[in-house]
Amino acid sequence: MLKKSVCLTAIKRFRAKHGLEASDENTIATIHLMNTHGIDVHAALDQSSRSGNDHGIDAWHYDKSSEELFIYQSKLTESKTLTLRGFNDLSEARQWLGPVLIKGTVDRVPSDNHCLFNLYTRLSDVRQNGKKIHFILISLFDRMELEDSDEYHRFEQELIKSDLNAFVRHELTGKLVVAASEYNLEQSIPETVKVYPISKIPKARIALRRNAHLDLAYVSLHSLVELYRQRGDVLFDKNVRLSLGGTKEARERLVNPMESTLQLITSRKLDPSISPFYHIGVTISASSVGDEDNTLLNLEAPSIINGCQTITIANEYLKRLERQENHEAIEVFKEIKVIAKVVAGTSNEEIKEITNCNN
């Protein structure tokens, strides 16, 4: 059995290094993903929950090479009784996952939880390819201390009788697996660094020095909302403020005019191409831009340093269209574009000054 104090030390260091705001259970789940699957911190943050509405899924990972899906529930407690409740949470995860894999649908797209949004998006691409699905309870206890429990066997019996098991067995010729595991605190170097591709404007790069530059990109507003739904508020970490959208002044000065413009565009009273005329654009920082081609910028560790309000307002507006199932308006929304300044390779001091000036 792991000592909780060891895990709390790892969590404290991780939070300090990455400026993360999340519960202990969710933070340790992020660390477990990185160490177990060899992914970088950005991919791990995208695949671990930091809010409610997670349907029992604290973290997930899809291994493309083996076509295996890993669903994790995290219980950071020294109480075995409380830890075993994690199998009830995995039962909830199974109930949510079933319709997504079998029918390819959910009651609504999980846009309020970036972890589930990313899982739903990933499964839409690979739902016919999964060969094995692992439901894993991660905690301070080792496998042998939990797998002989009544809770473990009840969950196992539930899986056996489920439609998900029948679908995976007969349609995908795969199988379901239940497991328990200690948190993995053995640090490892990631296999790759996750990149976030965005479209760019050709021949629009301003060099500051070697490996430090500014690119102009022509970005769809929908893609920025998708990036926010992938990353959550981590996307805004380097901004001097998150969003002023909650204040009365901001609603009068920013939110209402922008929503009015979005309404005019999605109702086809204004052409989507008018957006760059009205909007000053957004500024994105990235640690680097890899494998540049003529149409895409592949961003490592992207962060919005100006334009947070724009993205959060657009996200809320899009969620309303999704709830209304206004598919025509959603398609028009996808045509809206903004100009982005992408700053790469600058120092922390330079980023601080750029952020202050842009805001």
User: How much is the average pLDDT of 277-301?
Assistant: 78
Q: In what order do the strands lie in the sheet with 175-182?
A: 59-63, 68-75, 132-139, 175-182
**244 pLDDT exceeds 50?**
no
Domain ranges of the chain: 4-182, 195-358
pLDDT of res. 80:
96
CA–CA separation, 146 and 215 (whole Å): 53
Check: CB of residue 211 under 8 Å from CB of residue 288.
Answer: yes
CA–CA separation, 113 and 55 (whole Å): 10
Give me the residue label for tokens 């000036």.
357
Tens of pLDDT, residue by residue over 69-83, are 999 999 999 999 999
**291 pLDDT exceeds 90?**
no
Q: Is 268 exposed, middle or buried (0-12, 13-18, 19+ CB in 10 A)?
A: exposed
**243 pLDDT exceeds 50?**
no
Which region holds residue 67: left if phi is over 0, alpha if psi is between -120 and 50, else beta?
left
**242 pLDDT exceeds 70?**
no
Phi, psi of 221 (to 5 degrees): -60, -35
pLDDT of res. 241:
45
Query: Of 268, 267, 87, 78, nearest to 183 (Cα)?
Result: 78
The long-range contacts involving 97-104, CB below 8 angstroms and separated by at least 24 positions, are 97/57, 97/71, 97/133, 97/164, 98/162, 98/163, 98/164, 98/167, 100/127, 101/127, 101/130, 101/164, 101/167, 101/168, 102/163, 102/164, 102/167
Q: What is the DSSP letter of 137?
A: E
Check: CB of residue 134 under 8 Å from CB of residue 68.
Answer: yes
Q: What is the DSSP letter of 48?
A: B
**247 pLDDT exceeds 70?**
no
Q: Is 26 exposed, middle or buried (0-12, 13-18, 19+ CB in 10 A)?
A: buried
Quote the pTM value.
0.80
